[in-house]
């Protein structure tokens, strides 16, 4: 049995392998999306109203998808790619349509917020797409190791984030 660090300066092996780096990077990108309106770069007036309406629709869809994903996961929800010890494989509800609806929801929320406020928010949002793609691939490998039924679930649920899109 490994001895946990007592110095407080180094994380224990159990903590270090949950995937904290993924969460830190995605948090930085969230902050960049949220602060993009403070740069003073906005959509041109000619399209700002139309984009704001579209943005609120996309944002609302993202919030709805986030709520459905969070409710379906329940206690299994974690920001880390490593499945929680108390987790279970969820294959029904919104998870019957996509494997990572919470990631898709966050992307919709970021796109919606960027359409409402500032085109600069689309830059970290695009980076989130890449990050979530890599994180989901890593998470799926871990899910396959933990849950024998994951390979069958993945085969019958081809969409990763949003049904019909990706």
CATH number, domain of 59, equals 1.20.120.1630
The domain in which residue 164 lies consists of 50-166
Contact 121, 78 (CB under 8 A): no
Q: Which residue has the higher pLDDT, 4 or 88?
A: 88
Asked if residue 115 is part of any domain, the answer here is: yes
Asked if residue 30 is part of any domain, the answer here is: no
Asked if residue 61 is part of any domain, the answer here is: yes
Rounded average pLDDT over 74-87: 90
* Band (3; pLDDT cuts 50, 70, 90): very low
Asked if residue 35 is part of any domain, the answer here is: no
Task: Write down the pLDDT at residue 14.
Answer: 47
Contact 61, 90 (CB under 8 A): no
Task: Write down the pLDDT at residue 4.
Answer: 38
* Band (9; pLDDT cuts 50, 70, 90): very low
Average confidence score pLDDT of the chain: 90
Task: Write down the pLDDT at residue 61.
Answer: 97
Asked if residue 166 is part of any domain, the answer here is: yes
Q: For 19-117, where are the E strands, in sequence order?
A: none
The domain tally of the chain equals 1
Asked if residue 40 is part of any domain, the answer here is: no
Torsion on CA atoms 141, 146, 148, 152, rounded to nearest 10: -40
């Amino acid at each position: 049995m490994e001895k946990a660090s007592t110095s407080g300066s180094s994380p224990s092996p159990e903590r270090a392998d949950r995937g904290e780096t993924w969460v830190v990077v995605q948090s930085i990108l969230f902050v960049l999306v949220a602060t993009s309106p403070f740069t003073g770069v906005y959509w041109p007036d000619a399209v700002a109203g139309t984009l704001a309406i579209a943005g609120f629709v996309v944002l609302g869809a993202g919030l709805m998808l986030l709520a459905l994903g969070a409710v379906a996961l329940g206690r299994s929800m974690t920001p880390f790619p490593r499945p929680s010890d108390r987790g279970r494989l969820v294959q029904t509800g919104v998870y019957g349509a996509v494997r990572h609806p919470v990631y898709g929801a966050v992307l919709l929320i970021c796109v919606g917020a960027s359409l409402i406020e500032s085109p600069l928010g689309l830059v970290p949002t695009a980076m989130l797409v890449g990050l979530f793609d890599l994180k989901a691939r890593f998470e799926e490998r871990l899910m396959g190791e933990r849950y024998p039924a994951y390979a069958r679930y993945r085969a019958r649920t081809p969409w990763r984030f949003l049904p019909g899109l990706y």
